[in-house]
Structure 1
Amino acid sequence: MKKYDYVLVGAGLYSGVFAYLARQKGKKCLVVEKRNHMGGNIYCEEIEGIHVHRYGAHIFHTSSKEVWRFVNELAEFNRYTNSPVANFKGEMYNLPFNMNTFSKMWNVATPAEAKAKIEEQKKAVTGEPKNLEEQAIRLVGTDIYEKLVKGYTEKQWGRDCRELPAFIIKRLPVRFTYDNNYFNDLYQGIPIGGYNVIIDKLFEGCDVELETDYLEKRDHYDGLAEKTIYTGMIDAFYGYQFGKLEYRSLEFETETVDTDNYQGVAVVNYTDRETPFTRIIEHKHFEFGTQPKSVITREYPRDWSEGMEPYYPVNDETNQKLFQKYRSLAAQESHIIFGGRLGEYRYYDMDKVIESAMKAAMEELK
């Protein structure tokens, strides 16, 4: 008999959900985490009485009743609605693109006027779009593309929009209503007390080793448990034998400011190319805070290299082909389950991570 039923590599949301469901079945779990804290990218730290999202804005939203019921068992959620604003050289526009955006941009009042504007501008591109720029113009016209898509996208990807493939933007949400709610999901909110409330519940009863690299002592940890749940980089697990998958990374610059309200909204996107960061997050607005000071975070996209945090898989054809090679190796493993953003090499919203972990746990623990 081994000491544990499961070793969970990484202490993020996928591992947490799996561990929580495994513990309910009486299973013993060991969590091995590289960082010095639990919770992966949803971890919050408290500054000036404000729950600061250390790895960027995390706004929970889902249309799954099952997932919503699950997270509400762990924490009570507030009624926060994501309504970000775009700043283009000092001009402020509502997001997602809706009648408030169009009214400000073109001084139009009706959906018919806004549609006519967009349809006219879309004619600038004829034939099949050859790159992201042409694809975006075909979707929303030239004005919205130039002011609200181009600079932001080029900062995110570190490349000119004309060098990016068209398929990256399959659609851009356009609404002909005066509705600033970014998400269409049935449920959204922020856990009252921050995400650490959820993290603590998910990993309750697990043994934990922080600041520990599983890959450096893989044989040791695999020997401790019947199975391993691996949520790290799948290419790193296999020693990059087919080559390295690509990611985009981020840098965060967090500052306490001596004002009770810095920007009036939780998220402002800076959509011009010249501003080096993509957005500023003011954390107190996630929980309707009334603290005398505020905490803001500027978010800078970065090219990823080994040793940096891999945030966004680069979901292009080259990387997908490479990932399929690693996935074929993973499919042959009988004692390892790969999960989460890095283990499955895909961009996941939080609710989809939870769904994926619940599915894996249901199959494993039946």
Structure 2
Amino acid sequence: MFDYLIVGCGFSGAVSARLLAEEGKKVLVVDKRNHIGGNSYDYYDKKGILVHKYGPHIFHTNSKKVWEFLSRFTKWYLYQHKVLSYVDGKLVPMPINVDTVNELYGTNYTSDTIIDFFDKVRNKNIEVNNAKDMVITKVGEELYKKFFEGYTKKQWGIMPEELEKEVTARIPIRTNRDDRYFTNVYQGLPLYGYTNMFENMLEHENIHIMLNSDYRFIKNEISYKNLIYTGCADEFFDYKFGKLPYRSINFEFETLNEECYQRVGTINYPNDYDFTRITEFKHLTGQKSLSTTIVREYSSAEGEPYYPVPRKENEKLYLKYKKESEALENVYFLGRLGQYRYMNMDVVVDEAIKLVDRIKEKN
């Protein structure tokens, strides 16, 4: 008899498993994949380059609580991510900052005068109802088309005006020359990789792990008191209200016999090619090698679910499943898929910590 059956061995499952195990609870974690770590799983390829199987994962947070919790299981490579965007045949900083504008238009704006430029180009007179409106009110129609329209269409498979405004609300516009993609207090990657961090987190006498195990086929074979589910909410309920839409990604890895492929960790391609971006892993990990590995990302409607699609009708459908889940005894839904929310890793960790705190209070 296990106190908790946890479905999924990504951040949600692993964090809640560790915290419950430390409370003396017997925990079984099951995952249908053949590895731990969920979408954060990384491994060394044939050339010894540490790569992220499911695309680049850069950890960043303002939460000291979250950072200190994870720091129990890893040391950090203190990396600050930089992104360029390939626009009009030029590689320019992303998010848009003073240098982006100057390089595109051959201007000489400074941090003091760039506000005049944005005031001139942005549309202040529209009501913000969707992702397109959100960008236009910040940078205007032209920069929206150069940086956001094509990228968003590729990533989500629909036009920005069909997406909720929150999709682009999180993209900053800089009035200085700061070219870091994130400005959080804590930024970095686990020094020896995410997989190593997960191994340390799950190393506890009260935690048992079953890989290559689909919850649906084993749930009646295992005795447990409580369930934490981090898979797709609609799948749990056999799609009784219909399927929730997710976006997937196809990854194309390439190892090259050259020391460096591109200037920064990631380059976005909003208007050219079928892929959305190229990431070179050595920038992220700080490894030194005469070879390098890159990954191109192609968004897709089919395949492994990665992102909930933020639209009003999808949220409405999800709320039906949420109501259904709240009627269940001792069953908890966690994570991007379980909560149908587009969350960064730190928020996922925080949600898991909060859930275990609520369970402790309840008991």
Give the aligned partner of residue 60 of structure 1: 59
Matches within 5 A, 1:227-246: 227-246=226-245
**Is residue 2:14 matched to residue 1:19?**
no
User: Relative to 1, partners in 2 of residues 1:245 and 1:117: Cα closer, same or farther, differing over 3 Å?
Assistant: same
CA contact (8 A) 1:86 1:268 kept: yes
User: Relative to 1, partners in 2 of residues 1:40 and 1:171: Cα closer, same or farther, differing over 3 Å?
Assistant: closer
Give the aligned partner of residue 220 of structure 1: 221
Distance 1:151 1:292 in 2: 34
Distance 1:112 1:25 in 2: 54
CA contact (8 A) 2:164 2:310 kept: no
Measured against aligned partners, the alpha-carbon deviations of 1:191-223 in whole angstroms (never above 9, x if no partner) come to 1011112110122132222111111333223xx
Q: Which runs of 5+ in 2 are unaligned?
A: none
Give the aligned partner of residue 8 of structure 1: 6
User: Relative to 1, partners in 2 of residues 1:24 and 1:165: Cα closer, same or farther, differing over 3 Å?
Assistant: closer
Measured against aligned partners, the alpha-carbon deviations of 1:329-348 in whole angstroms (never above 9, x if no partner) come to 11111121111111111011
Give the aligned partner of residue 119 of structure 1: 119
Q: CA deviation at 1:233?
A: 0.6
CA contact (8 A) 1:267 1:279 kept: yes
Letter in 2 for 1:17: V
Give the aligned partner of residue 46 of structure 1: 44
Give the aligned partner of residue 352 of structure 1: 347
Q: CA deviation at 1:134?
A: 4.3
Distance 2:190 2:289 in 1: 18
Give the aligned partner of residue 357 of structure 2: 362
Q: CA deviation at 1:320?
A: 0.8
**Is residue 2:301 matched to residue 1:322?**
no
Letter in 2 for 1:313: P
Matches within 5 A, 1:91-106: 91-106=90-105
Secondary structure, in 3 states, of the residue corresponding to 2:287? coil
Q: CA deviation at 1:132?
A: 4.0
Distance 2:71 2:31 in 1: 26
Give the aligned partner of residue 208 of structure 2: 207
Letter in 1 for 2:281: H
Q: CA deviation at 1:270?
A: 0.8
CA contact (8 A) 1:266 1:281 kept: yes
Q: Point out the more displaced range, 66-75 or 129-138.
A: 129-138
CA contact (8 A) 1:139 1:172 kept: no
Matches within 5 A, 1:1-366: 2=1, 4-47=2-45, 48-106=47-105, 107-123=107-123, 126-128=125-127, 132-164=131-163, 168-170=167-169, 172-205=171-204, 206-221=207-222, 224-272=223-271, 274-304=272-302, 308-366=303-361
TM-score normalized by the length of structure 2: 0.93
Q: Which runs of 5+ in 1 are unaligned?
A: none
Q: CA deviation at 1:264?
A: 2.1
Distance 2:162 2:131 in 1: 8
Measured against aligned partners, the alpha-carbon deviations of 1:307-332 in whole angstroms (never above 9, x if no partner) come to x2111101211111111111111111
Letter in 1 for 2:114: A
Distance 1:148 1:364 in 2: 44
CA contact (8 A) 2:163 2:310 kept: no
CA contact (8 A) 1:140 1:172 kept: no
Q: Point out the more displaced range, 138-147 or 323-332.
A: 138-147
Distance 2:283 2:260 in 1: 9
